Amino acid sequence: MRYRLLGPLAVDVGGQPVEIAAARDRVLLAMLLLQPNRVVTLARLVDAVWGDQAPATARAQLHTCVSRLRRLLPDVIRTDTAGYRAAVADGDLDTLAFTALVAAGRPPPPPPPPPGTCAPRARLRSALELWRGPALAGVDSPAAQAHAVALEERRDAALEDCVDVELRLGLHAELIGQLTALVEQHPLRERPAEQLMTALTRAGRTADALAVYRRLRDALDDELGLPPSDRLQRLHHDLLQPHPDPSPAAAPAAPARAAARPWTLPRDVADYAGRDHLVADLVAAGTDAADDAEGDLTLDGAVPTVLSIDGMAGVGKTTLAVHVAHRVAERYPDGRLFLDLRAHSDRPPLPPHEALALLLGHLGVEPARVPADPDERVARWRSELAGRRVLVVLDNAADAAQVLPLLPGSSASLVIVTSRRRIAGLDGVRPVSLDVLSALESRRLITTVVGARAAADPAATAEVARLCGHLPLALRLAAARLAHRPSWSVKDLADRLRRAHPAAVDLAVDGRSPQAAFELSYRQLPPAAQRLFRLLGVHPAGELSMRVAATIAGLGAGDTDALLAQLVDAHLLNEPVAGRFRLHDLLREYAAHLADTDAERDPATLRMLDYYLQATAAATKVWESNRDRDPVDFAVVGPHVPTFTDMIDTRRWLDLEWANVVGAAHLADRLGWHRHTVLLPRALWGYLFRNSMNDVSLDLHRRALAAATTLGDADLIAMSHNYLASAHARGGDLASAARHLAVLVAHPTWGVRARTNLAYVYLNVGRFDEALRLMERSLVAGEDTWHVSVQWTALAGMLRAVGRFTESALVAQRIVGYGRRTGLTWPAAVGAVELGLARQRLGRHRQAVLLLAWARRQLGGDLGPAAELEARCHLGASLVALGVRERGLDLLRTAYEDGQQLDPTVACQAGNNYGEALAAVGRYADGKLVHAQVLDRAMRIGHRYEQARAYRGLGVCTDDPRLAADRLRAALELFEAMGTPERHDVRARLEQVALRREQ
């Protein structure tokens, strides 16, 4: 086998290419090959494949990827307790071969051997020939691309070593072309520039060598504020010394030519990074316009092409415009002009008539011939451009009124306009709105400027990029700051930026800073828009809706909507999707900095916290069956709090806003607003619990318990203990859950609920006698209430779990009777589910189908999505048992799929039911895959019963008797510890497997 990472990922088996089609498979294989013969942990692989967006089934999906790769590449991927490793021989992987050749080809001390016997050169060239393009091209993963940056840095270093050897061998003439391309690619790297200057000098091209030095000096000064190294300065000084000219007398110089074609474009940025597709599109637009005009010598009736680039301060509008202008400049031979219209600067904006005077002067019109009348000046400008092909960059424009007089009339010219505002009043203009750079582009920009320090620590470089908000101005200033501090590591800079408040204040270099750029945009807003921008600084990071903005500002919806539009047009606010707004990280810090001095900050913050509390309580109320939510239910709510009519609205709002609610709880905790710190986690609990967001829930409820303790409110302390216990239980830490619940068993209000919840904990760890005793203590004799019906449901489930099916049916009948007497749908329906399950376990599947189908109909819609899913999955199992296989399997499949989005416990139940049904119809491979996914999820949420069922299912679906026995023994151990009746079935299956192995 041969593996190639130095270019697009490629694999050959027996000399034939193997296609790795799936994108995730390519990322997984690349990460393993980047660390050959070493274990890569599952956590690192999940991060490489999904980043921060890893689904709950990430590990199971990784197993699927590994299975596919093993079919294509047998005996390559090995399993370890911590993850996977790729078993690779030294000669099979190009990165290993590259490393070995470079190590063997390090330049020897002078004098060098003769060219024909130079082994170092041959080895280095062989190493470089292994490269087929950008490393890991086509592998879409930030983690893999971080490795790619480091690989390319090693390639560049190897090339420079090779050039040193070849210069010593006297091969300077052969190197000039390659070095010229390398210097253009890395305009701030001094070593290639020094090598090119040396090669040009030895070839007799001293003037060209001096030009290389000047370009490098200017680039270092403009981008980093640094002079060239002492070594380069000495080389430059030596080149300037007069030397005898052995060549024949030079020919007389050609007479100087008048500058009839003006060029006022600024210097292009040599290390321009990112936006490749956008640059290509804009260059194509400028090139196509010029090509269309080339065939028309008179250019009569030609229409100018106008491109408009807008974006927030520091996003790189001018840099992009100048870069594109240089790329198309040769297509516009009659002039390349640049003019700063000063819309956002310390000077007043340039009036159109003054701008026209400057532009006409650039074209060679004498000041005395420039008309005084503004309209005549516009006419003269357009007359000058008629019949010409001119490129004009109008930078930093204020609005359409400033730009419109400067546009050509009938002309084959190209105009590029940049502005911090969206200029909507220009017809026939192609608008482009710039966003910040991607994470990969940001890291590459920093690495280009900083060099080896950034390449050696991609994680810290990524953190600096994140703290800079991926804003080009901030990235470049941060990189320049690091380049000025050779003693700093990239991590040192990241630590400084993390501590700075706001971070933008620590990015100032020679008077340039993002904060100064933001201030210019802010000062030009109307006072009402300035106020809204300031107050938005109280909002935690993330998107916010118009309702939240209106709440923070204390304004009506119409006024808020108009002000938000002004902020979006000024690029002080983004609208990534309609109706959702986001402040760039650095702008949010700037807004928060302004809000700190605003007397309205605390009232605005309180309004926002109340909004999130009230809206979350309203949203999650329909998710919870209990009705005792007094601490978070409110009779009076704010004017912008939404109402929720169904589960679709509820789910959509919570999916969008849960992170903001978490941020609001953290903010309340930081500010010491203890009641909000307690109640926000309680309001959000149902959503976090159903989505198994255990880490988030644990953090919030720990803060809540501390805040409740500070308040000294006994009820809030008890409530926090209860929901902190639920987070521990959901995460599988049953001991901690039991500890928090034990505090509450004697509490007058929360004791009944705590005993019920503690019984569930004991059930999961197999302490069935204690679980049943607690339930009996919790039940109030003779009472028929909603809460008691919930406890009866728990008791019925516990009796069923330990095999006491008849008793479970009797309790379930009592629940159904209570629901029918009171007219309450919920108790009747969940009681029917428990009764149907008891009938199912007794083998009465027809009765089970009737009960579960009725319950499912009652639980449809908003009433109980998790309970409806549970009814659906058990209904599907009974249908399969009755022989109605197609319908039953369809119900099980949809229950399993929907459960993964709604409730992980129900997803485990549905998955195991589905896997068992697939095995029952002979689809063992499909059943095995489902059980494997369930096992992973059940282990993560600590559900021992479903873990045991998954192990049993894997044992049933596995062909290999040895593996089947291992999995069945794992299931038996769990079932016996819990005392459940499934242990008898597993023992019988183990005996059957033993007989198969003997045969």
Q: Tell me the CATH number at 348.
A: 3.40.50.300
pLDDT tens digits, residue range 63-97? 889 888 988 888 889 988 778 889 998 788 888 88
| Mean confidence (pLDDT) of the chain | 82
**Same domain (yes/no): 444, 426:** no
Q: Which of 134, 149, 170 is the last residue of a domain?
A: 170
Q: Does residue 453 share a domain with residue 359?
A: no
Average pLDDT over residues 956-975: 92
Q: Mind listing the pLDDT tens digit for each residue in 829-863?
A: 889 999 999 999 898 999 999 999 998 888 865 44
Q: Is the pLDDT of residue 256 over 50?
A: no
B/e letters for 599-629, b = 16+ CB within 10 Å, e = fewer, are: ebbeebbebbbbbbbbbbbbbbbbbebeeee
Mean pLDDT for the stretch of residues 277-299: 73
- Crossing angle of helices 674-690 and 694-711, in 10° steps, is 150
Residue given tokens 């219209």 in the structure block: 341
458 vs 240: CA distance, rounded Å: 41
Asked whether residue 53 carries a pLDDT value surpassing 60, the answer given is: yes
Residues 25 and 45 in one domain: yes
Report the residue count for the chain.
999
Residue 712, domain member (yes or no): no
Report the alpha-carbon distance of residue 917 to residue 257 in Å, rounded: 88
Distance in angstroms (rounded) separating the CA atoms of residues 489 and 454: 8
Which CATH number goes with the domain that contains 134? 1.10.10.10
Percent of the chain at pLDDT > 70 equals: 87
Domain membership flag for residue 82: yes
* DSSP one-letter code for 504: G
- CA dist 907 and 943 (Å) reads 11
Q: Is the domain of 424 the same as that of 466?
A: no
Whether residue 8 is contained in a domain is answered as yes
Q: Is the pLDDT of residue 5 over 50?
A: yes
In this predicted model, what pLDDT tens digit does every residue of 633-675 receive, in sequence order? 555 577 899 888 776 778 889 988 999 999 999 999 999 999 9
pLDDT at residue 215 greater than cutoff 90: no
> What is the pLDDT, as a whole number, of residue 818?
83
| CATH number of the CATH domain containing 977 | 1.25.40.10
Strand order from edge to edge, sheet including 305-310: 336-340, 391-397, 414-419, 305-310, 429-433
Interatomic CA distance for residues 383 and 532, integer angstroms: 46
pLDDT at 864: 54
Residue type, 782: G
Q: Please tell me the pTM assigned to this model.
A: 0.56
Other Cβ atoms within 10 Å of 35 Cβ, number: 14
Last residue of a domain, one of 170, 202, 233: 170
Residue range of the domain that includes 445 = 439-499
At residue 396, the 3 state secondary structure works out as: strand
Q: Integer distance in angstroms from the first to the last C-alpha of the chain?
A: 38
The DSSP code for 405 is G
Q: How confident is the model at residue 527 (pLDDT cuts 50, 70, 90)?
A: very high
Tell me what pLDDT residue 506 has: 47
Residue, of 297 and 310, whose pLDDT is higher:
310
The tally of domains found in the chain comes to 4
d(CA 318, CA 308): 11
For residue 237, tell me if it sits in a domain. Answer: no
Q: How far is CA 555 from the centre of its chain?
A: 33
Most confidently predicted of 449-458, 626-635, 956-965: 956-965
pLDDT of 910 over the 80 cut: yes
Q: Is 631 helix (H, G, I), strand (E, B) or coil?
A: helix
- State whether 493 and 360 are in the same domain: no
Per-residue model confidence (pLDDT) at position 683:
92
Q: What contacts 160, CB < 8 A, 6 or more positions away?
A: 191, 192, 195
Burial of 376 (0-12, 13-18, 19+ CB in 10 A): exposed
Do residues 1 and 69 make contact, with C-beta atoms less than 8 angstroms apart? no
Identify whether 112 is part of a domain: yes
Asked, for residue 812, whether it belongs to a domain, the answer is no
CA distance 916 to 835: 21
- Average pLDDT score over residue span 952-977: 92
- How far apart (Å, rounded) are the C-alpha atoms in residues 522 and 530? 7
State the DSSP code for 330.
G
Residue 505 predicted with pLDDT over 70: no
Cβ-based burial of 126 (10 A; exposed 0-12, middle 13-18, buried ≥19): middle
Across the range 818-831, mean pLDDT stands at: 83
Cβ contact 318:396 at 8 Å: yes
d(CA 769, CA 280) in angstroms, rounded, equals 72
Residue 393: half-sphere exposure toward Cβ, Cα within 13 Å: 25
Q: What is the pLDDT of residue 417?
A: 94
* DSSP code per residue over 433-452: E--PPPHHHHHHHHHHHH-H
User: Tokens in use for 227?
Assistant: 């002079």
Q: Is residue 695 part of a domain?
A: no
Cα–Cα dist 516/537, whole Å: 17
- pLDDT of res. 632: 61
Least confident of 113-122, 512-521, 810-819, 977-986: 113-122
Q: What is the CA radius of gyration of the chain?
A: 36
If pLDDT is split at 50, 70 and 90, which confidence band does 764 have?
A: low
Tell whether the model's pLDDT for residue 258 goes beyond 50: no
Instruction: Please report the pLDDT score of residue 633 as a whole number.
Output: 58
Domain identity same for 429 and 445: no
- At residue 931, does pLDDT exceed 60? yes
Q: What mean pLDDT comes out for the span 578-585?
A: 83
Residues 115 and 59 in one domain: yes
CB neighbour list of residue 225: distance below 8 Å, 6 or more residues apart: 480, 484, 509, 510
290 shares a domain with 157 = no
Cβ contacts of 972 within 8 Å, gap of 6 or more:
983, 986, 987, 990
Last residue of a domain, one of 143, 170, 197: 170
Q: Is the dihedral of CA 692, 696, 699, 704 positive or negative?
A: negative
Q: How much is the pLDDT for 260?
A: 44
Percent of the chain past pLDDT 90, that is, above it, reads 25
Model confidence over 753-762: pLDDT tens digits? 888 888 878 8
Same domain, 11 and 142: yes
CA angle 491, 492, 494 (to 5 degrees): 60
Average pLDDT over residues 742-765: 83
- Bridge partners (DSSP) of residue 431 are 308
Same domain as 896, residue 876: yes
Sign of the CA dihedral with 464 first, then 467, 471, and 474 last: negative
Q: Is the pLDDT of residue 107 over 60?
A: no
pLDDT at 251 over 50: no
Which pair of tokens denotes residue 281?
């599109």
Query: Is residue 502 predicted with pLDDT exceeding 50?
Result: no
Please answer whether residues 605 and 647 qualify as being in contact, where contact means their C-beta atoms are separated by less than 8 angstroms. Answer: no
Confidence of residue 257 (pLDDT cuts 50, 70, 90): very low
pLDDT in the model for residue 917: 93
Q: Specify whether 13 is located in the same domain as 54.
A: yes
Strands (E), 265-366: 305-310, 336-340
Residue 679 in domain: no
Verify that 318 and 448 share a domain, yes or no. Answer: no
